[in-house]
């Protein structure tokens, strides 16, 4: 917003930049007199006198602090007129200051934010108070600024807020009280519901009519990943009518399939075990699959319709959970203030959502498809055991996950299962089976990857890439399922864990996440299979997760594949999954990812 060489004749004052909407002299609180100019894209000011105390000395070296002299309109979330009161001026002699204190001035305050220099992606509240002797002048500036703020596209005006009072360290209510003034100043109406029982947010979201939803610009979850998952499922479950994930031949639910699923009738499937795979991967045929349209399943009885995906209706999270992986991946930081600013400023980023379909709960149960949606991660084995074990120690708060994780790690259990994933020949490298067999270091590191990580950031080119597919809704949300080179690959063996990451799942204990190069909206799941291995090797893998710049996937016993869909069948009697931090019993399931299905009040990490 810098304006150099932009001075021109403006009322005879050569110091006032041209093209300004308004220009006046104000007293900037704690700074001094300044010529303030309002432009269509922001506010700038120029001090009329140098600030005397703007120089500090340390070890004989002089440092000059930089006082802000502008703020972009996109960084302003509110403007308000204050009652007449005393205003401070730092660069005047003491006698003048005393005289100034005896005279009250009318004031208006511009509320905005600045970016932290020490904490990546964190936004810090800031405000600038301008004083003037004339009330009408202050009101004129406030009215003009508010008119410009109304032109900022995407800013919400009415939000539904769910607060989980016992989420994480029971900080839900406290965190909402801390950010509520931001919404009030920004003139965002909020209907706040403090939940009193588990599943209440799901019930309320699923029972709301489309007319009620259309009265809001979005829904805010004050809680953790599990609470957001509850709200997301309450929103999608009754409204999203989508085809089931594609499955390979022989999958058990085919016998009772009623034509709702995208079932591929491939004649060939590539099969491999944990210790042996074939060098040549045969391609399967690409049959004509049914073209189903993703739509509102209750559009007839809940008019007017509510389109999904919806560009305007967005979700936001005020982090108050144990890990807050979703908010860290979408905003770059675990800070309630930063999340609140993303929301009131109307930021937008698309987020992939995984559809997880449970076909059988146990080996002997009937085939009854049950759909759940996940925004971050679904895991089996170690991950399912940890979430199950942690339920016994809820009284410990977030520390229960550390304790449960240690207990499960010491047991070092592995499970026999069969996983099939759809390979679409993405850029993700597949381990060379011949090289793996010939390697003398069975559990050592793989050869380093040649390509560097492409990390998802703000304005990510990968997420913003337009898929090359037909112009139907289902094709745009599942572009990789239409690849002509897709093939099913089957893996059978014993696994310590099986996980599917929708996003990188960064958190405070895993700074790079489970998959550092995962993106928010590229239409891929990251399937991670940890094969049976020595205890020490698995510890090495977990240690790499806790290191920034670590290589947790670069082991011989770790398989990592980018895929749009996969299936899972357990060989045991018990099978517990962890879906976004919630327990999910599933002996047999299939999953696929919908690209950019929902929008979040976020921009993606800035750094």
The residues assigned a catalytic role are: 225
Q: Is the peptide bond before 321 cis (omega within 30 degrees of 0)?
A: no
User: Around Cβ 250, how many Cβ atoms within 10 Å?
Assistant: 10
Task: Give the sheet arrangement for strand 42-47, strand by strand.
Answer: 70-72, 42-47, 32-39, 22-28, 123-132, 105-115, 76-85
106 pairs with which residues across the strands?
Answer: 132
SS3 call for 78: strand
Element (H, E) at 32: strand 32-39
Give Cα separations from 396 to 78, 281, 362, 390, 580 (angstroms).
40, 49, 31, 9, 20
Residue 227 phi, psi (nearest 5): -70, -40
Q: What single DSSP character describes residue 396?
A: G
Contact 303, 210 (CB under 8 A): yes
Pairing of strands 123-132, 240-241: unpaired
For 478-495, b/e burial (b = at least 16 CB within 10 A) is: bbbbbbeebbbbbbbbbb
Contact 473, 395 (CB under 8 A): no
Contact 500, 526 (CB under 8 A): yes
| Of 481, 590, 487, nearest in space to 244 by CA | 590
Dihedral (C-alpha) 395, 397, 400, 402: value to the nearest 10 degrees? -160
Give Cα 462 to chain centroid, integer Å.
Answer: 16
3-state secondary structure 519-533: CCCCCCEEEEEEECC
Rounded to an integer, what distance in angstroms lies between the CA atom of residue 254 and that of residue 269?
A: 16
State the chain's maximal CA–CA distance in angstroms. 92
Rounded to an integer, what distance in angstroms lies between the CA atom of residue 222 and that of residue 167?
A: 8
Q: What angle do CA 427, 433, 439 make, to 5 degrees?
A: 120
User: Around Cβ 91, how many Cβ atoms within 10 Å?
Assistant: 18
Rounded to an integer, what distance in angstroms lies between the CA atom of residue 521 and that of residue 56?
A: 47
Give Cα separations from 91 to 29, 50, 95, 100, 495 (angstroms).
11, 8, 12, 12, 69
């Amino acid at each position: 917003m810098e304006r150099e060489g932009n001075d021109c004749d403006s009322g005879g004052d050569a110091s006032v930049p041209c093209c300004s909407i308004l220009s006046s002299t104000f007293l900037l609180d704690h700074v001094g007199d300044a010529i303030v100019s309002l432009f269509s894209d922001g506010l700038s000011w120029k001090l009329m006198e140098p600030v005397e105390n703007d120089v500090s000395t340390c070890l004989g070296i002089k440092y000059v602090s930089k006082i802000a002299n502008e703020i972009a309109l996109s960084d302003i979330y509110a403007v308000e007129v204050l009652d007449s009161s005393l205003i401070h001026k730092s660069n005047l002699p003491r006698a003048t200051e005393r005289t100034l204190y005896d005279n009250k001035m009318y004031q208006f305050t511009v509320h905005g934010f600045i970016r932290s220099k020490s904490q990546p992606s964190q936004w810090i509240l800031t405000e600038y108070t301008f004083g003037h002797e004339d009330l009408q002048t202050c009101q004129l500036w406030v009215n003009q600024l508010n008119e410009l703020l109304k032109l900022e596209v995407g800013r919400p005006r009415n939000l539904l807020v769910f607060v989980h009072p016992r989420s994480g360290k029971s900080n839900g209510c406290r965190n909402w009280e801390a950010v509520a003034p931001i919404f009030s100043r920004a003139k965002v109406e909020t209907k706040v519901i403090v939940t009193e029982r588990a599943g209440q947010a799901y019930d309320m979201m699923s029972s709301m009519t489309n007319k009620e939803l259309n009265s809001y610009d979005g829904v805010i979850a004050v809680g953790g990943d599990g609470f957001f998952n509850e709200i997301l499922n309450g929103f999608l479950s009754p409204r999203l009518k989508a085809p089931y994930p594609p499955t390979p031949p022989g999958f058990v639910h085919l016998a009772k399939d009623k034509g709702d699923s995208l079932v591929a009738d491939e004649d060939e499937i590539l099969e491999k075990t944990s210790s042996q795979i074939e060098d040549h991967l045969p391609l399967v045929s690409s049959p004509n699959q049914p073209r189903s349209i993703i739509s509102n399943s209750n559009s007839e009885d809940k008019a007017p319709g509510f389109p999904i995906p919806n560009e305007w209706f967005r979700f936001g999270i005020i982090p108050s959970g144990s890990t807050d992986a979703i908010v860290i991946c979408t905003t770059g930081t675990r800070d309630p203030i930063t999340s609140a600013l993303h929301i009131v400023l109307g930021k937008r980023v698309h987020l992939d959502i995984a559809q997880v379909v449970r076909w059988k709960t146990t080996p002997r149960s009937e085939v009854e498809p049950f759909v759940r949606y996940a925004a971050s991660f679904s895991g089996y084995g170690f991950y399912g055991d940890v979430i199950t074990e942690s339920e016994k120690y809820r009284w410990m708060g977030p520390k229960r996950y550390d304790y449960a994780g240690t207990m499960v790690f010491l047991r070092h259990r592995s499970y026999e299962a069969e996983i099939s994933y759809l390979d679409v020949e993405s850029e993700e490298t597949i381990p060379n089976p011949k090289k793996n067999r010939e390697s003398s270091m069975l559990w050592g590191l793989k050869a380093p990857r040649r390509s560097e990580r492409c990390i998802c950031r703000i304005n990510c080119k990968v997420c913003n890439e337009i898929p090359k597919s037909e112009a139907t809704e289902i094709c745009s949300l599942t572009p990789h399922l239409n690849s002509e080179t897709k093939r099913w690959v089957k893996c059978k063996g014993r696994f310590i864990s099986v996980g599917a990451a929708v996003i990188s799942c960064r958190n405070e204990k895993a700074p790079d996440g489970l998959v550092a190069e995962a993106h928010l909206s590229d239409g891929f799941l990251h399937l991670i299979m940890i094969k049976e291995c020595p205890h020490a090797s698995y510890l090495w893998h977990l240690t790499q997760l806790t290191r920034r710049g670590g290589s947790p996937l670069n082991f011989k016993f770790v398989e990592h594949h980018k895929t749009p869909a996969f299936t899972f069948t357990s060989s045991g009697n018990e099978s517990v999954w962890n879906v976004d931090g919630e327990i999910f019993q599933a002996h047999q399931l299939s999953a696929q990812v919908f690209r950019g299905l929902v929008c979040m009040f976020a921009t993606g990490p800035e750094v």
